[in-house]
A and B are shown apart, each in its own frame.
Chain A
Amino acid sequence: MNRFVKLGTAALLTSALAALAIPAAQAGATLDRVMSTKTLTMSSDPEYPPQSFLNDNNEMDGFDVDVGKEIAKRLGAELEIVTPSWDIITGGNWGGRWDMSVGSMTPTKKRAEVLNFPAVYYYTPAAFAVYEDSKIDSLADLNGKTIGSCGGCTYDAYLMKNLEIDAEGAPPFSYEVTAGEIKTYETDTNAFDDLRLGDGTRLDAAFSALPTIQEAIKNGYPLKIVGKPAFYEPLSVATDKGDPEFDAKIAEIVAAMKADGTMKKLSEKWYGVDLTSLQ
């Protein structure tokens, strides 16, 4: 039996050493990799219609996906999509597994410590939704209520009153709502599922992106929108740290897409309105 033990120990040690011996990936080579392989890999959330979702042809589709496709096209590359969870994307250190995130991400100061935000591509109004027969009909009525949002996202940060948006041209806002209780979910659409159970059953309101709420209402969720948008958040393409050339290229392409009206067209296709510039 001893021989087996020794064999086992040796095998374990060898595999541990092998894992350490693999050379580190070259940093700063994102653009080179994209240009040489002719593939641009983007991370996306498949559960976030209409920004990104699986369409009835079982392909990824949506506003963010269309923007990603257009960026890839202008780089002369094919777009590939991977779907790691939001925490993994915002954690940074992607290790070259994907090159960019076009995931309606707000460039906050905290996130900017681990990721780069080369280009803001549109602005989303953040709005409160309540059950359709709720008596709440202004932002002031929401004070003290139980409000649901996605955990760790900007809506959560707004409710906790520590939202810092770190992007040029981000419109100023004030905290108009003080939640009685904040309930957080993996994504904000899960909050809608709790809100649809009834007025006050689990939630009094949900806080999310206006287009996402409208999409839910379109799909038969018994919700309505309350008051004016609480804040507008700029949403940016995100990249991993370490390749300024790639960042510059992305910024240039997004600026060109805005200038020639492509971005406006895509926004109107998916949201019905132009959200690519501040009104």
Chain B
Amino acid sequence: MHKVVIHSVELGKRYAIGERARYLALRDVLANAMNSPRRILGRDRRTGENRGPQQLWALRDISFDIQEGEIVGLIGRNGAGKTTLLKILSRVTRPTTGFADVHGRMGSLLEVGTGFHPELTGRENVFLSGAILGMGKREIEGKFDEIVAFAEVDKFIDTPLKHFSTGMQMRLAFAVAAQLEPEILLVDEVLAVGDLEFQKKCLGKMSEVSKGGRTIVFVSHQMSQIRRMCGRVIWVDRGVINQDGPTLDVVPAYERALSARIEVNGPQEAGFSDKIQFLKWEFMVDEGAPPNVLQHFGPVSFRVVIYFPEAIRKGSYGILLIDDSGRIIWHGNFELSGLQPGTFEFLHRLPTLPIKPGAYRWKAGVYDGHQWTDGWWALPEMVVGTKPMTNTGDEFQGILNLHCEMEVRALESVRK
């Protein structure tokens, strides 16, 4: 009954690395042209293929079929090729090998607020962004009121976008995107930022859309989102499909692989590893709220539960907070003494945790004496869903998400 809407056969994408740096300036090209004139006008395939070591396959042999109405999650580490695959499917870039047949109208959302212009008003930006995402003028006119209501910006709709707060800009951008109703929707990790309430609203809208028989391909680092949204997951690793199957099979395998990686690299993972067991961690939140999501600026309370089969006379327990790119954000180390066998919870309390929205992981470990006994990636991931206080553009975000006050005072003035 179901029909295939995306049929991908051995898609591959090769980038020639270093190309940008090499040909950035025309004067270099002119100098190079002395040696090989053909390169001035376009790099043709012959020269492209002979460049050997400077090439990188971002994707290789990607084959899969996606059926109508499926919601497929695309997971993998940073740089695994997820976004490249999405860019090929959305036709932003073209593959080097293979092909994919797409049946049906396709829309893509690789970024929030694509095409927004600060000088234009909210209203004008709705039309512009809508058109760029593939909506017709009539369609946007018909949905305009809904968009404004969804974004909750009705009072400012005729003000230039540059006067909007970043939160308002985000909401407006999401609201336009949420109205996108193609038959196939490709979504990059655009929902990772923005405040949590609004994220939920968008996810809700997306699953609503999929009930109407639409197909969604969805990239995310947040396994909680993937679990909630997707029935099927494709796990991409180093440019190839590592596993493709039901979410219930693939996500745990992926999480195991993430944990396994540090175990393998850990200094002394053997020996005691079956002794102590990390059971869980969670924020101390109200009933019903997701226990791995931070929605406020503090104080932050969380607990880590660990089972000790044997007593620890004197040792220590350490916990690391690690961000998406593997940087250590915070490290706590605590003495342990006279611990009897049993299950213990470690209650932590931080005055504040002002880090930028996104996904993080905890790594916990225990020392018995000076001997490292065990370490675990404490899954699920920790998701920070606080409101961005500064710029929402990824490239300008630092590590801290802190509100800063500023006043200007003249110290000395030049008299004329």
- Are the chains A and B members of one assembly? no
- Listed in ascending order, the chain B residues whose CB lies under 8 Å from chain A are none
Q: Which residues of A pack against B, CB within 8 Å? A: none
